[in-house]
Structure 1
Amino acid sequence: MLAFILATATDSTLSVDAGQIQQLAGHFGIDTPFIVAQMLNFALVAFLLYRFAFKPVLATIEERQQKIADGLQYAEEMKAKLAEAEKLYADRIKDASHEGQKILEEARESARAFYETQTQQAARHAEEMIKKAEQAIAMEHERMLQDLKRQVAQLVVQTTERVLAKNLTDADKQTFNRSASEALSEVA
């Protein structure tokens, strides 16, 4: 085969005949059939290695590269989802904080309103108690005055009875009581 390649590669200016090539090959110790067999063996071994060794290894490498690429893509997706989840979490925390502030402000306002309402109710209740106490005092004063008038009238009748040294009848006592009460009413 080497002879064939060398024979076809000659150009017109160099014309080397086949005998000289064989003589040259023999001079270097090249055995043409052995070289052809070696080239066939090399081609066969290269084909078998490619078919049964390199091709599966390349397929495995390609499969692993695909898995790595998928893993990296998945990691990027998870990183994006994590960033989105963190943003959502931060937004929720922010919303919860605002809601908490709002509730706290409403509670303060409610407490302020409750305090004012209770203060007003306490003031009204105190005023009512004062009015009731004043009314009770006025009623007690009136009752005491009536009682005092009655006692004074009795004392006047008793004193008059002693002064006159006579016993008065019940009708006379009532008449004196009435006239004494009227006189005391005019004075008071």
Structure 2
Amino acid sequence: MNINATLFLQAIVFGILVWFTMKFVWPPITKALDERAQKIADGLAAADQAKSELATANKRVEAELLTSRNETAARLADADRRAQGIVEEAKSRATEEANKIIAAAQAEAGQQMVKAREALREQVAVLAVKGAEQILRKEVNAGVHADLLSRLKTEL
């Protein structure tokens, strides 16, 4: 065969191969590449959307955290105020109770002092009678001199 005919025949076979490749092989490969490019583009779009949603969610979380911190601070302040009120109330109750106890103790001490004075007057009266008896060397009748003894008690 002739080199020109071989060359011509090879060119025809090459043309058929190109036509076959473009008709049957190239479209599925192009379609697969286009699908892959679309999936990558969709994935990138989804990633961008997820980033924006994450940023929005982070902002919402920060707002919620700020709100909960403010509420917690307010509740702690309320609890402190309540605790101070309870402490002040307990102090006032304790002061009132202490004043009542002191008043009762003072009243009891006054009563005991009065009783002690009465007992002391009785003893002084008895001693005065005994002293007068010894001075006079005779017996003094307490019944007869009761008025004198009562005046002596009041003077003491």
| TM-score (norm: length of structure 1) | 0.65
1:136-163, CA deviations, whole angstroms, 9 ceiling, x for partnerless residues?
Answer: 3202211210111110121122123323
Aligned to 2:123: 151
Partner of residue 155, structure 2: 187
Structure 1 pair 38–177 and aligned structure 2 pair: CA distance change class (3 A): farther
> How far, CA to CA, are the matches of 1:129 and 1:184 in structure 2?
36
1:62 to 18, 21, 34: 34
In structure 2, the partner of 1:48 is 20
1:93 matched to which residue of 2? 65
1:128 to 100, 112, 115: 100
* Equivalent residue for 1:78, pick from 43, 47, 50: 50
Contact 1:161-1:167 within 8 A present in 2 as well = yes
Matches of 1:69 and 1:144, distance apart in 2:
109
Distance 1:177 1:52 in 2: 155
Q: Which runs of 5+ in 2 are unaligned?
A: none
Aligned-residue RMSD, C-alpha:
2.9
Name the amino acid aligned to 1:81: E
Aligned-pair identity (%): 25
Gaps in structure 1 of 5+ consecutive residues: 1-29
Flag as ranges the 4+ runs of structure 1 deviating above 3 A. 37-43, 176-181, 184-188
The letter of the residue matching 1:67 is K
How many equivalent residue pairs?
Answer: 152
- Change in Cα spacing, 1:68 to 1:178, as seen in structure 2 (3 Å) is farther
User: Which entry has the higher C-alpha Rg, 1 or 2?
Assistant: 1
Residue type at the aligned position of 2:150: E
Q: Post-superposition shift, 1:110?
A: 1.5
